[in-house]
């Protein structure tokens, strides 16, 4: 119900503002990350100017509110190339499933939440890992939408996306637990994943409810099937040789069949 209402709201927003969406937004982000990586080879101080730093933002360096998005994922060329290609793959998959508008909304919500929350005193300490949280948010969405998609780790080992998604979530949890201020870091990480939780949380709980109801229905069907397949059934308590194989059944003088337990109680 909640998920259906959310989808209807997104459909209305897309009809009204869909023309403003930037196609392949993650591609653009990756493109600027490549540019930042190249510029960092020329000037070692360039990346420092992109970092999210609340104190500098309050002093007028407002570009830091969003410049952290284009920070390279790694300064190691090999790992940077791997994460870049993988991010492009995720981008194509999300765009094909959601369309540009919903991908834009998802990413912008994550960016705005992180940038805004970082200005709260004490929460800006997580700024250096904002890029990782943004990537994790996008990857978890991909892993949830395509759980059985094989990902070839290092181009060799095939692993389903859902297992890598679980590993990514565990890695985020380890960062929170190992942080000097785990509560503050946990708040920021949770805020960064809020768009993911709002997008997939209702569907997750709805699926759990439907699975629980289906399990109850299967159990009732199996019970009724056992009763209908039984040869003996106690007229008094309904026990059968299937449900209570330890009991003995006899036909009484009234023409009805009773188990030994009910006969003794009579």
Span 228-261, pLDDT tens digits: 567 778 888 888 877 788 888 888 777 788 888 8
Q: Residue 74: what pLDDT?
A: 87
pLDDT digits (tens, 9 = 90+) for 72-94: 988 899 989 999 999 999 999 99
Cβ atoms within 10 A of the Cβ of 88, count? 15
Distance CA 2, CA 246 (A): 49
Confidence of residue 129 (pLDDT cuts 50, 70, 90): confident
Given this model, what pLDDT does residue 25 score?
Answer: 95
Q: What's the average model confidence in pLDDT over 116-121? A: 84
Token reading at 40: 């960092």
Query: Is 9 in contact with 102 (CB distance < 8 Å)?
Result: no
Q: Decide if pLDDT at 192 tops 80.
A: yes
Contact 130, 63 (CB under 8 A): no
Mean pLDDT value across the chain: 85
Q: Is pLDDT at 5 greater than 80 in this prediction?
A: no
> Is residue 4 scored above 70 in pLDDT?
no
Q: How far apart are CA 247 and CA 241, in angstroms?
A: 7
Question: What structural domains and CATH numbers belong to the chain?
Answer: 10-194 (1.20.1540), 230-266 (no CATH)
Residue 1 pLDDT > 70: no
Other Cβ atoms less than 10 A from the Cβ of 70: the count is 19
Of residues 18 and 149, the one with the higher pLDDT is: 149
Instruction: Locate 92 and state its tokens.
Output: 């194509």
pLDDT value for 124:
64
pLDDT of residue 156: 79
Phi, psi of 206 (to 5 degrees): -65, -40
pLDDT digits (tens, 9 = 90+) for 27-77: 999 999 999 999 999 987 888 889 888 888 889 999 999 999 999 988 899
pLDDT tens digits, 149-174: 999 876 678 899 999 999 999 999 99
Of 6-10, 20-24, 128-132, 146-150, which gets the smallest average pLDDT? Answer: 6-10
What pLDDT does 222 receive? 64
- Give the pTM: 0.76
Over range 7-17, report the average pLDDT: 81
């Amino acid at each position: 119900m909640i998920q259906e209402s959310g989808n209807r709201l997104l459909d209305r927003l897309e009809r009204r503002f869909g023309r403003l969406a930037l196609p392949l937004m993650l591609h653009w982000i990756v493109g600027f990350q490549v540019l930042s990586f190249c510029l960092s080879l020329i000037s070692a101080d360039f990346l420092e100017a992109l970092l999210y730093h609340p104190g500098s933002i309050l002093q007028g360096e407002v570009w830091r509110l969003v410049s952290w998005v284009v920070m390279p994922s790694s300064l190691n060329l090999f790992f940077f190339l791997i994460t870049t290609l993988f991010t492009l793959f995720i981008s194509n998959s999300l765009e094909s499933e959601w369309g540009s508008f919903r991908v834009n909304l998802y990413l912008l919500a994550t960016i705005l939440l992180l940038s805004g929350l970082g200005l709260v005193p004490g929460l800006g300490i997580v700024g250096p890992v904002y890029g990782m949280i943004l990537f994790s948010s996008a990857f978890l969405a991909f892993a949830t939408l395509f759980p059985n998609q094989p990902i070839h780790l290092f181009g060799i080992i095939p692993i389903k996306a859902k297992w890598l998604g679980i590993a990514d979530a565990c890695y985020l949890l380890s960062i929170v637990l190992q942080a000097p201020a785990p509560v503050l870091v946990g708040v920021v990480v949770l805020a960064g994943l809020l768009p993911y939780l709002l997008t997939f949380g209702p569907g997750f709980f709805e699926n759990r409810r439907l699975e629980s109801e289906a399990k109850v229905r299967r159990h009732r069907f199996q019970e009724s099937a056992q009763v209908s397949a039984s040869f003996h059934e106690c007229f008094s308590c309904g026990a059968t040789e299937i449900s209570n194989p330890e009991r003995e059944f006899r036909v009484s003088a009234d023409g009805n069949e009773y188990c030994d337990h009910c006969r003794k109680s009579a």
